[in-house]
């Protein structure tokens, strides 16, 4: 539990540092006065001023901020103010945090591909780059031999009837040949190997022509590329993850619009901490993927045109350029203020749901 909390804080701190450094660095380069660079949210624990910027460490370790002079619309005529700079410079500063998170996600995935990334194997991956193949359960059908035997998503198939299986086709053919016969299946879960007995059978609604055990298998392997291919693979993987994140966000908006329950995949800091615990058990490679995906989440969410986020602030800069005059300061201030309140309320609601979902598991970890 203690290690999980430390790793969780370090991961969030790292991703926030990367994001805010993007704002900080570009603001300095554009001649803006950065008044404070803070890790975490107040109350303040420690601070030190250097080169006209106060650097602070705060008590709530799940965020961070960069305070730039005039970013609230004030001091429009003062030198060094965010508001006094040309629109293009403000756009650069606003998107810099998003860019840094996207860059971090890409860099981590690329490095992983250089040293060996666990991925789902497809026909377009050259065989010479693949090692450590395994067949993993991606889905378990209800009321099937697999579900009755207790198999779960994520279990790794080791062998059937004492024989190892090289690929999915070979596995499925062997299973089909054992129709209604008690067959031993060996799998690995959480580093523990288990053998169960089940009888493959025809499930008419799923596969009417051959016997199955009722799983959707997928083939995983470790893929290691040379540097130039790893950079391309990292970019492609980052794009796929980002597209998936956008798809989930679109589903959330759709569910909210239709007054449907929000998907269980939505989570806050508590859910991230719980996932961190699971990922630590899965190994270093999965931890790197988790950090990369979390960084891409930061990038996608922050660029959304929502008040108080970078995308929301970007709207006002673009509107100013199109209209030829700045927005009214009070309107922009209230826009972001209301947005911030909504984000806090959303965070409270998500945290409450996370406690309901994971409270028992967290309590068991604490007393254990």
* 26 close to 94: Cβ distance less than 8 angstroms: no
Give the Cβ contact number of residue 318 at 10 Å. 12
3-state secondary structure of 151: coil
| Domain total in the chain | 2
89 shares its domain with 173: no
177 shares its domain with 309: no
Percent of the chain at pLDDT > 90 equals 34
Is the pLDDT reported for residue 75 higher than 70?
A: no
62 shares its domain with 160: no
How many residues are recorded in the chain? 368
What backbone phi and psi angles, to 5 degrees, belong to 4? -60, -45
Range name among 107-111, 132-136, 229-233, 281-285 with the lowest pLDDT average: 281-285
Element (H, E) at 22: helix 2-29
Cα–Cα distance measured from residue 307 to residue 334, given in angstroms and rounded to the nearest whole number: 9
Cβ-proximal residues to 302 (8 Å cutoff; 6+ apart), any chain: 19, 97, 98, 101, 309, 310, 311
The range of the structural domain enclosing residue 8 comes to: 2-116+235-367
**Does residue 155 sit within a domain?**
yes
Mean pLDDT is highest, among 2-16, 21-35, 79-93, 263-277, for 21-35
Q: Is 202 exposed, middle or buried (0-12, 13-18, 19+ CB in 10 A)?
A: middle
246 shares its domain with 218: no
Cα–Cα distance measured from residue 82 to residue 89, given in angstroms and rounded to the nearest whole number: 9
Q: What is the pLDDT of residues 303-339, one digit of tens each?
A: 988 887 888 889 888 888 888 777 777 777 777 778 7
34 shares its domain with 101: yes
111 shares its domain with 251: yes
50 shares its domain with 111: yes
Per the prediction, the chain carries an average pLDDT of 84
364 confidence band (pLDDT: 50, 70, 90)? low
Q: Tell me which of 360 and 165 has the higher pLDDT.
A: 165
pLDDT at 42: 84
* Domain end point (choices 189, 223, 257): 223
* 160 close to 179: Cβ distance less than 8 angstroms: no
- Which residue stretches of the chain are H helix? 2-29, 87-115, 145-148, 168-176, 227-257, 269-282, 284-302, 310-323, 329-367
80 shares its domain with 183: no
pLDDT at 74: 63
**Does residue 15 sit within a domain?**
yes
69 shares its domain with 188: no
108 shares its domain with 255: yes
* Domain end point (choices 190, 223, 256): 223
Range name among 98-102, 220-224, 251-255 with the lowest pLDDT average: 251-255
pLDDT at 190: 78
* Domain end point (choices 170, 203, 223): 223
pLDDT at 22: 95
168 confidence band (pLDDT: 50, 70, 90)? confident
**Does residue 66 sit within a domain?**
yes
* 145 close to 213: Cβ distance less than 8 angstroms: yes
Q: What is the pLDDT of residues 295-312, one digit of tens each?
A: 999 999 899 888 878 888
**Does residue 326 sit within a domain?**
yes
**Does residue 228 sit within a domain?**
no
Instruction: State the CATH number of the domain containing residue 197.
Output: 2.30.42.10
Is the pLDDT reported for residue 2 higher than 80?
A: no
**Does residue 217 sit within a domain?**
yes
Range name among 204-213, 216-225, 254-263, 336-345 with the lowest pLDDT average: 254-263
**Does residue 103 sit within a domain?**
yes
3-state secondary structure of 68: strand
pLDDT at 253: 72
pLDDT at 365: 53
Q: What is the pLDDT of residues 131-166, one digit of tens each?
A: 888 889 888 898 899 999 999 888 899 888 888 877
Is the pLDDT reported for residue 247 higher than 60?
A: yes
Cα–Cα distance measured from residue 57 to residue 41, given in angstroms and rounded to the nearest whole number: 8
Decide the pairing of beta strands 207-212 and 201-203.
Answer: antiparallel
159 shares its domain with 190: yes
Mean predicted confidence (pLDDT) in 182-208: 88
What's the gap between Cα 309 and its chain centre?
Answer: 18
319 shares its domain with 255: yes
Mean predicted confidence (pLDDT) in 96-114: 96
Angle, CA of 188, 192 and 196, to the nearest 5°: 60
pTM for the full predicted model:
0.80
**Does residue 206 sit within a domain?**
yes
Cα–Cα distance measured from residue 257 to residue 122, given in angstroms and rounded to the nearest whole number: 36
Mean pLDDT is highest, among 73-77, 199-203, 232-236, 244-248, for 232-236
Percent of the chain at pLDDT > 70 equals 86
Is the pLDDT reported for residue 259 higher than 70?
A: no
Mean predicted confidence (pLDDT) in 197-217: 89
């Amino acid at each position: 539990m203690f290690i999980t909390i430390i790793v969780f804080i370090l991961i969030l701190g790292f991703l926030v540092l990367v994001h805010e450094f993007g704002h900080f660095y570009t603001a300095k380069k554009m001649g803006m006065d950065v008044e404070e660079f803070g890790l975490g949210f107040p109350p303040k624990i420690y601070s030190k001023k250097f080169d006209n910027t106060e650097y602070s460490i705060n008590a709530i370790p799940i965020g961070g901020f960069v305070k730039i002079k005039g970013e609230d619309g004030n001091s429009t005529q003062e030198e060094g103010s965010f508001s006094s700079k040309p629109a293009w410079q403000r756009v650069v500063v606003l998107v810099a945090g998003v860019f840094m998170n996207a860059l971090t996600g890409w860099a981590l995935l690329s490095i992983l591909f250089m040293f060996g990334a666990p991925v789902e194997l497809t026909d377009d991956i050259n065989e010479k780059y693949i090692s450590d193949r395994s067949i993993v359960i991606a889905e378990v059908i209800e009321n099937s031999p697999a579900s009755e035997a207790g198999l779960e998503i994520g279990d790794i198939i080791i062998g059937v009837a004492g024989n190892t299986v090289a690929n999915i086709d070979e596995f499925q053919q062997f299973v089909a040949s054992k129709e209604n016969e008690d067959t031993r299946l060996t799998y690995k879960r959480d580093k523990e190997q288990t053998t169960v007995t089940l009888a493959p059978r025809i499930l008419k609604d799923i596969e009417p022509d051959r016997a199955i055990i009722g799983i959707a298998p997928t083939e995983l392997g470790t893929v290691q590329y040379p540097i130039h291919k790893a950079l391309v693979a990292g970019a492609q993987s980052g794009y796929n993850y980002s597209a998936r994140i956008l798809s989930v966000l679109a589903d959330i908006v759709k569910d909210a619009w239709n007054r449907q329950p929000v998907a269980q995949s939505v989570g806050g800091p508590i859910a991230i901490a719980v996932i961190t615990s699971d990922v630590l058990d899965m190994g270093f490679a999965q931890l790197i993927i988790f950090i990369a995906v979390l960084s891409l989440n930061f990038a996608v969410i922050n660029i959304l045109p929502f008040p108080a986020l970078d995308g929301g602030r970007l709207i006002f800069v673009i509107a100013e350029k199109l209209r030829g005059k700045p927005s009214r300061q009070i309107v922009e201030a209230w826009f972001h203020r209301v947005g911030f309140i909504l984000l806090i309320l959303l965070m409270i609601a998500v945290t409450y749901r996370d406690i309901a979902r994971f409270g028992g598991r967290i309590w068991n970890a604490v007393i254990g």
